[in-house]
A and B are shown apart, each in its own frame.
Chain A
Amino acid sequence: MTKYDAIIIGAGHNGLTNAAYLAKAGLNVLVVEKNEYIGGAAVTREMHDGWFYSSCSYVCSMMRQSIHRDLNLTKHGLVLVPYLGTVVFADNGDTMVSYNSEEAEYNQLRRRSPHDADAMFRFQADLARYAQLIRKTLLRTPPDPTSFRPRDIKELLWLAKEFWSLGEKELYEYIRFFTMSAADFLDDYFEDDLIKAAMASPGVIGTALGVYSPGSAYILLHHVMGDVDGNIGAWGLARGGMGAISHAIAGALKEHGGEIRTNAGVDKIRVKNGKAVGVVLDNGDELRADIVVSNMDAKRTFTQCMDKNDLPPGIYDKAKNFKIRGSSGKVNIALSGLPKFNKVPDNRYINRGGQGFVGSMETMERAYDCWKHGRWSEDPFIESVIPSAWDPTVAPPGQHWMSNFVQYCPPALADGPWTPEKRDAFGQTVIDKIERYCPGFKDLIVHMEVRTPHEIEAEVGLTEGNIFQGELTIDQLLFNRPFPGYAQYRMPIKNMYMCGSSTHPGGGVSSACGANAAREILIDLKRPNTVPEDDFYDE
């Protein structure tokens, strides 16, 4: 039986990144994937003739440029294209568009509120300052604050120095920021409700929190700290869909001699004498390896793929209680033409970007109320993008695919389990809402794929369909992610590691978790590091 140096469970983008860096260091690696296709939640699939959906994640801004460059992902087919122009829609039909031009943007904001137009400058500067600090930690392993090892102490000192360099006032603000709600944070800047709602919406995306819930301010930051070619806050599309990212990383992995096996779900991680020794596949096959790396979320890894008796005390409970609540759904729609929205000027700089159906602060909070009661939102917050308006490869010419991220949608309904009928009713709620702002929208629909947390968990394996592999609140960030004491990618079992978004720095298509985990594994193996150190943050 072949024995691998390392087996990585899950061919999502972080698993592939982890494997690529281990292979680059000369390890004999195998990635096992339960689906017949690779990519996890960074995937593109032809769901309708000529239409290629990015079924899960749909935009990208956190992909580490240093990794892109280091793994030569462009050579392996990856082109990231920024998309511009978003429109937000208010309950009363009002719209606010955003141009990629400071002057046009300023004039636009002034029409709503001269006060807010001015405040936007301070808001952007403050966010940039906060984002800069977090960005610096993305490709670093969090220090263990209770450890006395020189490396941890050094890293803690570095972190402290970075925090102190903000200055006393900002330091207080920053600490507050981590525990604040998006609404409270925004109240300090803006007075216009639609501007607030537009700015608050990234604070709840992918999270079972409302805009008034403490902790949502940080999530807002998590969504705007990315960049495309240095333009912080910009979002990009992968040409060919998000699967292009996974396929490019897989290309780099294969170039370095790595192997991928699809249709190979893992039933159990095999542990012997307190050490991980391999995996047992769903079909009963056993594969042996010196190292096992799980790219699955922490809850799934420890509660489903491991024998409780193999785990040290407490870990099972920690995993069981890991906060990974599903809160969102996704509706992918094939359209026969470009939708025309009410009150959106007909110019290509804004009519083909993203749409935010935010309504108002209150509407977003009410949408959250439904989730709390085990129902999908009757008037949901929808974040939409029409990638085909930018990427000529994902839909037939003149026809389009629209990605609709829908919040909120519970993993379990109060009135019993999800059924195909309920799933379709959820999809109907979404298109009903879009139709309100886009008369004739329904007539354009050629095909629809509706995904509730139930489908996302079943297909991708994300527990409860949580897109971040665990919520991004302070109790689960940095040295607390996934659990205090286990934030350095090493798990309680010897020779076992984690490399998914359940680890620092968390969700998003960044490749950072996978790369950081590879660096830690190589340290343990006393092999030279292959992971880039220079993360191109603003020096």
Chain B
Amino acid sequence: MMSSQVDIKDPFAGERLKESPFHPRQALFNLRDAWSSWNGYKFADYYYDEEYEYFCIRNSCATYDICPMQKYVMTGPDAEAMLNRMVTRDISKLKENRVTYVCWCTDEGRVIDDGTIFKMGADRFLLTCGSPSLAWLRKSAFGFDQLEISDVSDSLAALSFQGPTTCEVLKKMGLVGIEDLKPFCIAYFSLGSNDNNRLMVSRTGFTGDLGYELWIEEAYALELWDKLYAAGEDYGIQPYGEAATNMARLEAGFIMPGMEFNEALKTVHYQYDQTPFELNLDWLVDFKKPHFNGRSALIKARDQGAEYTLVKLDIEGNKPAEESFLYSDKECSKEIGYVTSAMWSPVVKANIALAMVMTSALDRDIWAEIYYSKELRHHSKVVRCTLQALPFWSPKRARATPPGLY
């Protein structure tokens, strides 16, 4: 039979989602073509089964494509001063080859985004964050002339590699001494021979478990993938998507833009964005350091006290309290807050949530009105919530150096 040989041009060429450097390999795993998108990239929601992928993070090891994350290299004598002026944390104490978690605010003290700063050299930093931030960086760089900002989001490929067997896999891959890398530290390794320590590894992640992030120039992305997957074959390696990430980060108590906070620069309604205090990020705000963006507003916010506080909740029953309202009484007469993220935690076997609760109501009972649907019919129930101080999941291996045998 002759096949038709009509040459059809893609009418949307150039408008389609970009493919990450890891895409050729990841696509093979994506049995159900469950793609969503992130910053213009085609991005897996899940590859096969979100719970399976989640369990790879908790039980073996798994990779998460963070190429679509935004990455900026800041170089020059003014780089540190500029970043220190922008973020709320004091990064002048940050040592070389260390990473720190930061957030930055508007003049009104509302959180624009959170991210990480890597100090790669005295005058060289890498800033990573979820949303494109070049415009804000340029604004923040006003007056800092000896500084160059380059957007390496597309050229620097990165894989988050998380789970109990990750250290063993990296050892097997030939990263000598990786077991001595401490949390929030950076080390460089060669991928092949004479490649001049092309691979940067940081002991960081977004899962609350043992894990690393692997950074390499785009051109070497597939070489990294193949070596990692060859080493990980016997250690349960598997790619995971957004769905599993969201589960793991919630158990770890990490916040997510678009869930726990509304990015200030995208917020329409007055004060529908958040201060770091509301997000329980007091520890990120350092008033002892020189002036930084939002300082005066944040001093005021601190003195006034946050109207809402982000809390962790352990909730009765097994129905996730997604989008639930919170009340101080079972009759639901006094509303005191709302749930931002909720799930059944498969590893802890608990019904957990992050929620914004009025600070003044934190010493009272908390009840959640949960809506759920059963075969198309909607139901609701009111259940008791208990405040939880510590992350729901926080294994020792995540902090130990060496992390010990899985």
Contacts of B319 in A (CB 8 A): 539
A residues apposed to B, CB below 8 Å? 65, 68-69, 73-74, 79-82, 84, 99-101, 103-104, 228-231, 239, 348-349, 389-393, 397-398, 534, 536, 538-539
Contacts of A99 in B (CB 8 A): 31
- From the candidates B51, B60, B164, name the one contacting A82 in the complex (CB within 8 A): B51
CA distance A391 to B233 in the complex (A): 13
CA distance A538 to B319 in the complex (A): 9
* 5 tightest A-B CB contacts, nearest first: A398-B234, A397-B234, A536-B318, A68-B349, A229-B346
Residue on A with the closest CB to B393?
Answer: A74
Contacts of A231 in B (CB 8 A): 51
CA distance A278 to B406 in the complex (A): 43
Contacts of B235 in A (CB 8 A): 392, 397
Contacts of A73 in B (CB 8 A): 349
Q: Residue-by-residue, is B377-403 near A (CB-CB < 8 Å gives 1, otherwise 0)?
A: 001010000000000000000000000
CB of B234, distance to nearest CB on chain A (Å): 4
CA distance A81 to B406 in the complex (A): 15
The answer to whether the Cβ of B32 comes within 8 Å of any Cβ in the partner chain is yes
User: With A82-B52, A397-B235, A534-B317 as given contacts, are A101 and B59 in contact (CB-CB < 8 Å)?
Assistant: no
- From the candidates B48, B168, B316, name the one contacting A349 in the complex (CB within 8 A): B48
Sampled A-B contacts (10; CB under 8 Å) = A65-B318, A65-B349, A68-B349, A73-B349, A74-B349, A82-B51, A101-B48, A229-B344, A229-B346, A230-B318
Please state if A392 and B406 are interface contacts (CB–CB under 8 Å): yes
Please state if A100 and B49 are interface contacts (CB–CB under 8 Å): yes
Residue on A with the closest CB to B52?
Answer: A84
Contacts of B59 in A (CB 8 A): 79, 81, 239, 390-392
Residue on B with the closest CB to A237?
Answer: B59
Within 8 A of A (CB), among B22-68: 31-32, 48-49, 51-52, 55, 58-60
CB of A142, distance to nearest CB on chain B (Å): 24
Residue on A with the closest CB to B405?
Answer: A393
Please state if B60 and A534 are interface contacts (CB–CB under 8 Å): no
CA distance A392 to B349 in the complex (A): 21
Residue on A with the closest CB to B346?
Answer: A229
CA distance A534 to B351 in the complex (A): 13
Within 8 A of A (CB), among B222-261: 233-236, 238
CB of A503, distance to nearest CB on chain B (Å): 24
Please state if A69 and B234 are interface contacts (CB–CB under 8 Å): no
Please state if A79 and B347 are interface contacts (CB–CB under 8 Å): yes
Please state if A392 and B374 are interface contacts (CB–CB under 8 Å): no
CB of A538, distance to nearest CB on chain B (Å): 7
Most chain-B Cβ atoms within 10 A of its Cβ — which of A65, A228, A397? A397
User: With A84-B52, A100-B48, A100-B49 as given contacts, are A69 and B350 in contact (CB-CB < 8 Å)?
Assistant: yes
CB of B168, distance to nearest CB on chain A (Å): 7
CA distance A69 to B318 in the complex (A): 11
The answer to whether the Cβ of B2 comes within 8 Å of any Cβ in the partner chain is no
CA distance A130 to B55 in the complex (A): 29
CA distance A437 to B311 in the complex (A): 54
Residue on B with the closest CB to A125?
Answer: B375
Contacts of B379 in A (CB 8 A): 539
Residue on A with the closest CB to B59?
Answer: A81
